[in-house]
Copies of this chain bind each other. A is one copy, B any other.
Amino acid sequence: MALEDRVHELADEVPPPDEAAARAALGRHSGLAKPPGSLGRLEGLGPRLSAMAGEAPPPVPGSPAVVVCAGDHGVLDRGVSPWPRSVTAAMVRAFCEGGAAVNAVAKTVGARVSVLDVGVAKQLERHPMLRAAKVRPGTGDLSAGPAMSREEAARAVMAGAGLAEELVESGGVDLLVTGDMGIANTTPAACLISAFTGRPPKETTGRGTGIDDDTLRLKRRVVEEALALHAPETKDPLGVLAAVGGLEHAAIVGVILTGAVYGVPVVLDGVVSGSAALVARALAPDSVAYVIAGHRSPEPGARISLEYLGLSPLLDLDMRLGEGTGGLLAVPLVQAAARTLGEMATLEELGFG
């Protein structure tokens, strides 16, 4: 089967959320030993978890993992980021050595860290935490031609899917957090977000990890040029991903679709994850039912993606680091939403029925 067909097959496997389980969870909430609604946002999240798992109360996800998808970007040569390309590989090494922010945050919430190289420019040394699945050593400049071929985009999606499947099937992982690393990767994210939401580049393009006004103007122009050049058609999500996306964006699409297929919650990190969730939804509309917005990144495209997906972020901590850090910090909230629903006594049990 052609790789592209495998992506569509995966998307077609995403089951609709179990609305009956969600209703049962909602019913259970109303009988718990607390004033109605007093658990706030957790009360909305619990039934969503039931809809994903097909069970009420939902299982408590006790084995979370963050999948940090890494790649480089030809568009960096346009000057859209002040960081050199070599930072991508250096940070991947830092993830493997345990010295990055994602390691510290993952340790805090008890999540394992898995790193996926789908497109880092530099040749990387082998490491047990690193899945080597390089599709190509970075994308081409999306403002001058397609970022990659359709086949390459499909390969990167399936690399993310494969790692996620292995984590869930063999690793017992029951919650996936999407993470990303790739210097210049907020530029393809802005392209994808403009393509799928129809919002103009001046709204979807932000400062990423921190650029000055001149660089921001240039970055917006580059996004505009890319959209004008490719005129992406959202009816062909893989085509959009190939034209203006990134390899790690594609891999995250695979992680999201696979989580959805297994009924496992997928917690998004920031703007790169948000852009990938738009692609995933275009491929499989029901996939959004399995997606939880971990946090609100200050990157404008992140907010736009979440609005378009109909998701409200759990945290708002002004974090814009990527790597999965913001998504990871939401993990205890997801666990608490499931655990309160499953473990609290009812008013009736306490004699107040």
Which residues of A are at the interface with B, using a C-beta cutoff of 8 A? 32-42, 60, 87, 90-91, 93-94, 97-101, 103-105, 107-109, 209-210, 298, 314-322, 325, 329, 331-333, 335-336, 339-340, 342-345, 349-352
Q: Given B37, B87, B94, B317, which contacts A333 in the complex, CB threshold below 8 Å? A: B317
Closest to A210 in B: B35
A108 touches B42 (CB 8 A): no
Q: Once bound together, how far apart are the Cα atoms of A319 and B298, in whole Å?
A: 23
A105 touches B318 (CB 8 A): no
Residues of the B chain whose Cβ atoms lie less than 8 Å from the Cβ of A344 = 99-101, 103-104
Ordered by A's residue number, 8 sampled pairs between the chains whose C-beta atoms are within 8 Å are A34-B101, A35-B209, A38-B209, A39-B319, A42-B317, A94-B345, A101-B340, A104-B340
Q: Given B37, B38, B100, B322, which contacts A345 in the complex, CB threshold below 8 Å? A: B100
CB distance from A236 to the nearest CB of B (A): 34
Instruction: List the 9 closest pairs (A to B, CB-CB), nearest first.
Output: A99-B345, A40-B318, A35-B209, A38-B321, A40-B319, A41-B317, A104-B339, A104-B340, A108-B336
Q: Given B39, B90, B210, B333, which contacts A350 in the complex, CB threshold below 8 Å? A: B90
CB distance from A48 to the nearest CB of B (A): 14
Residues of the B chain whose Cβ atoms lie less than 8 Å from the Cβ of A60 = 108
B345 touches A33 (CB 8 A): no
B42 touches A107 (CB 8 A): no
Residues of the B chain whose Cβ atoms lie less than 8 Å from the Cβ of A319 = 38-42
Q: Once bound together, how far apart are the Cα atoms of A41 and B296, in whole Å?
A: 12
Residues of the B chain whose Cβ atoms lie less than 8 Å from the Cβ of A36 = 210
Q: Given B38, B318, B335, B345, which contacts A97 in the complex, CB threshold below 8 Å? A: B345
Q: Known interface pairs A38-B209, A317-B42, A345-B97. Does A339 touch B107 (Cβ–Cβ under 8 Å)?
A: yes
Q: Once bound together, how far apart are the Cα atoms of A349 and B94, in whole Å?
A: 10
CB distance from A161 to the nearest CB of B (A): 29
Q: Once bound together, how far apart are the Cα atoms of A23 and B32, in whole Å?
A: 46
Q: Once bound together, how far apart are the Cα atoms of A319 and B105, in whole Å?
A: 24
Closest to A326 in B: B40
Closest to A110 in B: B110
Residues of the B chain whose Cβ atoms lie less than 8 Å from the Cβ of A98 = 343
CB distance from A191 to the nearest CB of B (A): 21
Q: Once bound together, how far apart are the Cα atoms of A352 and B332, in whole Å?
A: 33
CB distance from A91 to the nearest CB of B (A): 7
Q: Once bound together, how far apart are the Cα atoms of A336 and B109, in whole Å?
A: 8
B101 touches A317 (CB 8 A): no
Residues of the B chain whose Cβ atoms lie less than 8 Å from the Cβ of A107 = 339, 343
A39 touches B336 (CB 8 A): no
